[in-house]
Structure 1
Amino acid sequence: MTYKIDTHYLEHSGGTKFYETVLIQEDNGPGLLIKRWGAIALKNGGGQTKYERGTHSVVAGEANKILREKKKKGYDHATKSGALHSWSGRSDVDAVMLGAMVKQHYGADTAAYVKDYFGLNAAGAVVNEEPKPREPEKPIERGETWGSW
């Protein structure tokens, strides 16, 4: 089984926010759209994540809708490297490579979700539960006198 990956990475013109879409489509199977957004400081693995599941036309339509909306709100395409972005536009990604790239890009929880969704862990059906959201990072304790110089 092979998968097609289509990614888009956008940054807001103000330089403070990012938005990422990763569309994964299985040959003759379902599609999955991973949307991730947040402060620009969280672009390497952080931010909030949401999933859209369905047929190829449904998830591709949702991705296009999001990209049009974001462009109207001041977002533009930006260069982003990484496991999934370097394979954008390819349609020959196998299951092992897909699992490894998603794990490297998003972490183990999202990789497990993607593998379950596409039935790569077992002969199971498509899953309907999203992985648990990541815990926000705890703020750094700087003390009462920090920055008072």
Structure 2
Amino acid sequence: MSIYPIKSRAVTLDHRGGTKSYHLVLIEAANGHCVVINRWGKTGAFGEIKVETFDSPIKAQKAWDKKEREKVGKGYAQKGGTRDRTAADVSELPKVVDAMTFNKMGASAVKHLDPAFDTSGMREADDPQYDEETGAKLDTARKADIADAIEAQRIADAEKAARAYDDNDLYGRF
């Protein structure tokens, strides 16, 4: 059975205070495999993302409806209409979700939808982490260790400056 077309439905919910947004995306493949993406954060920022996979459109729709009811009950209201998109083949799949969300949803979720999709170079989605005692959100952003790169750049700059002084016949004459 073919997995295409893959359909996507997305809504944006804004909080009545105007500073927070919640985005819900339901992606359904023709074989019945589904992914629900929950994305939230400050309005205008990408924010946090949570990705859930389902083997049944009914279970995915229930999860979608439950989260939508929860958010509406907490003061969120839908902004704009529902955005429906369809991917007819593998080249259109990233556009259906939107490129930034697609890159962050994780390789396993993409493989759940389309097992033949090339996910080399894709990372897994990072679930938000919370402190067990206080419930405060922990900063789990992946940070590169750039100390070695900074030191190498400093040495390269010093060598370049030394070569520039050596190559300048006028250096030190004034």
Q: Do Structure 1 and Structure 2 share a fold, with TM-score over 0.5?
A: yes
Structure 2 residue 48 is the aligned partner of structure 1 residue 48 = yes
Other-structure match for 2:77: 76
Gaps of 5+ in 1: 123-128, 138-149
- Quick one: structure 1 residues 103 and 135, their matched pair in 2 at CA, closer, same or farther if it must change by over 3 Å? farther
- Quick one: structure 1 residues 9 and 38, their matched pair in 2 at CA, closer, same or farther if it must change by over 3 Å? same
Other-structure match for 1:120: 116
Greater length-normalized contact order (CA 8 Å, ≥ 6 residues apart): 1
Counterparts of 2:126 and 2:116, CA distance in 1: 20
Counterparts of 1:73 and 1:24, CA distance in 2: 25
- Quick one: structure 1 residues 89 and 107, their matched pair in 2 at CA, closer, same or farther if it must change by over 3 Å? closer
Q: CA deviation at 1:34?
A: 0.4
Structure 2 counterpart SS, 1:5: strand
TM-score with structure 2 length normalisation? 0.59
Gaps of 5+ in 2: 128-139, 144-174
- On the 8 A contact 2:36/2:60 being kept in 1, the answer is yes
- On the 8 A contact 1:21/1:36 being kept in 2, the answer is yes
Moved more, 3-12 or 91-100: 91-100
Counterparts of 1:101 and 1:57, CA distance in 2: 21
- On the 8 A contact 1:3/1:95 being kept in 2, the answer is no
Q: CA deviation at 1:91?
A: 4.4
Question: Once superposed, what is the RMSD of the aligned Cα atoms?
Answer: 2.8
Q: CA deviation at 1:20?
A: 0.4
Counterparts of 1:113 and 1:103, CA distance in 2: 17
Residue type at the aligned position of 1:48: E
Structure 1 counterpart SS, 2:12: strand
Q: CA deviation at 1:109?
A: 4.0
TM-score with structure 1 length normalisation? 0.68
Residue type at the aligned position of 1:56: P
Q: Find the structure with the greater CA-based Rg.
A: 2
Aligned residue pair count: 122
- Quick one: structure 1 residues 72 and 132, their matched pair in 2 at CA, closer, same or farther if it must change by over 3 Å? closer
State, as a whole percentage, how many aligned pairs show the same letter: 27
